[in-house]
Structure formats: structure tokens, C-alpha cells
Amino acid sequence: MNEKGLEIFETIEAFKGYFRIIKYRLRHQLFAGGWSREITREVFERGHAAALLPYDPVLDTVVLIEQFRIGAHVAGHDPWLIEIVAGIIEEGESPEDVVRRETMEEAGCKVSDIIHISTYLPSAGGTSETVSLFCGRVNAADVGGIHGCDDEDEDIRVMALPFAKALAMTESGEIANSAALISLQWLALNRDRLRQEWR
């Protein structure tokens, strides 16, 4: 038991493939006092991620990517999602290292300044994943084309869009990816300051 009122009785690796699923038997303290009954929960383990919204303050342009996502298809959505660059944090890497690498691999552009936006839990009811979210300064003048790593079967279309158009896509539902939504809304609140600091 720990100081927060959680007692874990057993952990079992229920599945191991490209990702892992861990099964927990536990109980926790209740708001009304006392303890919950023993419950079982499975947790999807996919690692921790870092993501970055590339922003060109001179052109007032963001760099977005589009790629196939099987989870979106299974959920009944268009499986080609408009996103920001992201990757899994490997052992020994910092989130900043990951977003610099992924911005070059996925979007073909180099990041200079980086600002941390937030670290959040995208779906804490079923996965332990955290996302470290950043905004990074880029030159979007010649951005575009198809990118990605062949050994990871990536097929990524890159687009540079005026900020106002990208923000409108969050309102229309064309952008439905959480990291993209959060970072674009953050940029809407902080854009004037960034344009002053980064120009």
C-alpha cells in the first residue's frame, strides 16, 4: 500500500507483442471512506511519447503531417489523421531529443527553439502512456513532400498551413488528434508572444 491509498495485490503480463498488456489486481481508498472491493484492470503499455508542433513565426505557419492510423479505422473514423510530429521516448533519450529527431524524420525540417507546453495522460483509464508536448520554431518555407522511415513502414505526407487555417480545422473536426488539438489551442493563446520572441 502507498500513501495515496492504493494496494496492488498482483501484476501479470497478460500479453506481449508489439505492445504489452499488464493485468492488475488491486483495491483503492474511496472518497466516502473505506476501501473499494478488489478489482481487476488491464493496462496497455506502449511507452511514453513526445510530440511537437512545428511553428514558423515569420510566415505564421504550422507544419502538420498526415498518416494512416489503424486505431482510427477501428473506431469508425477516417484512418488518415492530421497530426503533429511525435515519437516514442527510447531508453536514454530525453523528450527534447525525441522531438528534434522526429521533426527531421517525419517532416524534413530542423527545430531551433523549443517550448514545453504540457505533459499529459491521453487515456489514463486504460494506458500508462504520457505525452510530453512541445512547440518548436522552424523555417517552413520549403516544407512539404512525403517523409518517414521505411524500416518503420511510415508513409507521412507533410503540409505547411497558415495558422488560421489549421485552427479552423480543429473547429471543423478535420483535426481530431489530441496532441494536435492541444498544441494548436495552446498556440492560439501564446502566438502573439511567440511571434515577438522568435522573430
Q: What is the CA angle 79-90-134, rounded to 5?
A: 65
Among candidate residues 42, 45, 106, 152, the one labeled active-site is 152
Instruction: Check if 90 is active-site.
Output: no
Give the Cα separation of 156 and 100 in Å (integer): 17
Whose CA is closest to 64, among 116, 107, 110, 105?
A: 107
Identity of the residue numbered 62: V
Helix (H, G, I), strand (E, B) or coil at 45: strand
| Residue positions annotated with a catalytic role | 152
